[in-house]
Structure 1
């Protein structure tokens, strides 16, 4: 299980939870499990094509997944994924 930390704006779609455990060997698999458990998160996290929405930044521990292989980045049970809203104009 990987802990997925949600920003305040996404918590209502996850029943108010700040952190959700999810399973998978890659970031993409973790997100698939996350949206299977909380379907309301799907449109807020993933595009219709299954890509990560541009308005979110995702960190695997302290590293931005854009530099680790994006949704193909490998994860382990010791990892934490943190979703953060992207800052416009920054």
Structure 2
């Protein structure tokens, strides 16, 4: 199961947990599993966020792999100027 780290303001939607575990093989499956397990996260996920898998920021690639031992961080969407 992938360990997904949530930023502080998202934790209230996951019973205060900083890290949640979900079964997923891709970033898209992970986001879908998070929404099912913690429906309160859905608005933030749908609004857009950044995902880092094992230290690499994944940009708009729901097919990017997530291994069972991957460390995943949800980040507020990174915006450039």
TM-score (normalised: structure 2): 0.88
Structure 2 gap ranges (5+): none
Runs of 4 or more above 4 Å deviation: 87-90
| Cα root mean square deviation, aligned | 1.7
Q: How many residues end up aligned between the 2 structures?
A: 81
Separation (CA, whole Å) in 1 of partners of 2:79 and 2:58: 19
Answer yes or no: is 1:71 the counterpart of 2:59: no
Separation (CA, whole Å) in 2 of partners of 1:31 and 1:20: 12
- In structure 2, do the counterparts of structure 1 residues 89 and 71 end up closer, same or farther at CA, with 3 Å as the change threshold? closer
Structure 1 gap ranges (5+): 48-52
